[in-house]
Amino acid sequence: MSGLVRTFLLVFIVAFGLMYAVAALNSSEGYSGGNTLTIYNWGDYIDPELIKQFEKESGIKVIYQTFDSNEAMMTKIKQGGTTFDVAVPSEYAISKMKEDDLLLKIDHGKLPNLKHIDPDFMNLSFDPDNAYSVPYFWGTVGIIYNPKMVGDLTFDSWEDLWDESLRNNIFLLDGAREVMGMGLNSLGYSLNDTIQEHLQEALAKLSELTPNVKAIVGDEIKMLIANEEAAAGLVWSGDASEIMDQNEDLDYVVPQEGSNLWFDNMVIPKTASNLEGAHAFINFMLDPEVAAQNTEYVGYSTPNKEALALLPEDISGDERFYPDKELTDRLEVYDNLGPRMLSHYNELFLEFKMHRK
């Protein structure tokens, strides 16, 4: 017993010693209090080299933390505790955070690089005049499929997912808005529809899809589709590009009836303590060369038109990830439907998940 106690004591002493050593080292290098910047981003959503480059150029020590859903991120920022200086929420989360008074205004005077952003991505409905947010990446929701496994289907229409040849052969993303949105879009309704009959109709339509659905999964969807566990899947465009890097046979398409267009923007949450640093970081990420390098690493679509010009033709000319105006006009951005409606969407989604084959 005393041996056990001694072991634990030793572990504690070593741990505290190391913590102290890290603190001492940080302060000796000038990394302390006011000179750090805490960034809160999605996992694997920035080229780590760029963080190093920013640290070198600015002398600011970056503390990088990640989240896996907008909701988890909002909860943590609401609770306070950590002084996040920059966060990267999606559009509906930005409008919710604005409502909840969780964001600080962004000083455009400190962002000379903002001029590189394509005006199409500025001044959108969720944040007029970009008072609170600056575009980081954007993308779509669509279908990734394996042409070798689907016969003649092209997935130009959502309807193709319902095809009988795909029995037990598709994966869906585990997201209420995405799956319900697909159901609504396939019927020609808006994916922000809140009319009860339309939602029920969408649920009925989705339940017909049940025999084709092999599984409804989270991030594993990338690995599973790359390993050809199923012929097709409903995914985010960025995930699709990552999957296609791993398995070149696959293709991605956004169905013609319309789908979701989403944006992840950089914001400065209320918790920020280093405003200068936050603006410097945002400005740094808007630099065309930096944005181009980041785009190549992350694989999502950049809203930075100067960066796009720097990218090789096989990325910037790829219509699957930089669709033309005709298609983007048919895409919709998620509205903040309010907690009650969102809850209802989730209940319908749960009901859909419970359908047995």
* Count of positions on this chain that bind another protein (CB under 8 A): 32
Nearer to another protein, 135 or 181 (CB): 181
Q: Residue 254: phi, psi to the nearest 5?
A: -105, 115
Segment interacting with another protein, rule: CB under 8 A, options 1-9, 139-147, 194-202, 208-216: 208-216
Segment interacting with another protein, rule: CB under 8 A, options 8-16, 31-39, 158-166, 214-222: 214-222
Q: Is 339 in the site for another protein (CB under 8 A)?
A: yes
Cα dihedral 53, 93, 244, 227, rounded to 10, equals 110
CA pair distance 260, 348, nearest whole angstrom: 19
Residue 340 Cβ vs another protein, minimum distance, rounded to whole Å: 6
Among 69, 165, 200, 246, binds another protein (CB under 8 A): 69
CA pair distance 152, 219, nearest whole angstrom: 28
Residue 74 Cβ vs another protein, minimum distance, rounded to whole Å: 8
Q: Is 249 in the site for another protein (CB under 8 A)?
A: no
Among 9, 10, 14, 72, binds another protein (CB under 8 A): 72
Residue 42 Cβ vs another protein, minimum distance, rounded to whole Å: 15
Residue 210 Cβ vs another protein, minimum distance, rounded to whole Å: 9
CA pair distance 204, 207, nearest whole angstrom: 5
DSSP string, 139-183: EEEEEEE-TTTSTT---SSGGGGG-GGGTT-EEEES-HHHHHHHH
Q: At what angle do helices 176-186 and 196-209 cross, to 10 degrees?
A: 100
Residue 342 Cβ vs another protein, minimum distance, rounded to whole Å: 6
Residue 280 Cβ vs another protein, minimum distance, rounded to whole Å: 33
Among 51, 122, 187, 215, binds another protein (CB under 8 A): 215
300 is in an annotated binding site: no
* Residue of 268, 276, 256 lying closest to 329 (CA atoms): 256
Residue 270 Cβ vs another protein, minimum distance, rounded to whole Å: 18
Q: Is 71 in the site for another protein (CB under 8 A)?
A: yes
Q: Is 334 exposed, middle or buried (0-12, 13-18, 19+ CB in 10 A)?
A: buried
| Per-residue contact flags (x/-) with another protein for residues 163 to 192, judged by CB under 8 A | -----x--x--x-x----------------
Q: Is 122 in the site for another protein (CB under 8 A)?
A: no
Nearer to another protein, 170 or 285 (CB): 170
- The answer to whether 252 touches 143, Cβ cutoff 8 Å, is yes
Segment interacting with another protein, rule: CB under 8 A, options 58-66, 299-307, 321-329, 336-344: 336-344
CA pair distance 96, 288, nearest whole angstrom: 30
- Which residues 264-323 are close enough to bind another protein by CB under 8 A? none
CA pair distance 287, 111, nearest whole angstrom: 10
Give the E-state strand segments of the chain in sequence order: 36-42, 61-67, 86-87, 103-104, 133-145, 170-173, 213-217, 232-236, 251-253, 261-269
Question: What is the 3 state secondary structure string of 277-325?
Answer: HHHHHHHHHHCHHHHHHHHHHHCCECCEHHHHHHCCHHHHCCCCCCCCH
Residue 227 Cβ vs another protein, minimum distance, rounded to whole Å: 6
Q: Is 148 exposed, middle or buried (0-12, 13-18, 19+ CB in 10 A)?
A: exposed
Among 223, 249, 289, 329, binds another protein (CB under 8 A): 223
Segment interacting with another protein, rule: CB under 8 A, options 247-255, 298-306, 326-334, 343-351: 343-351
- Which residues 225-244 are close enough to bind another protein by CB under 8 A? 227-229
- Which residues make up each annotated binding site for spermidine? 92
Q: Where do contacts with another protein occur on this chain (CB under 8 A)? A: 69, 71-72, 74-75, 168, 171, 174, 176, 214-218, 220, 223-224, 227-229, 339-340, 342-343, 346-347, 350-351, 353-354, 356-357
- Which residues make up each annotated binding site? 92
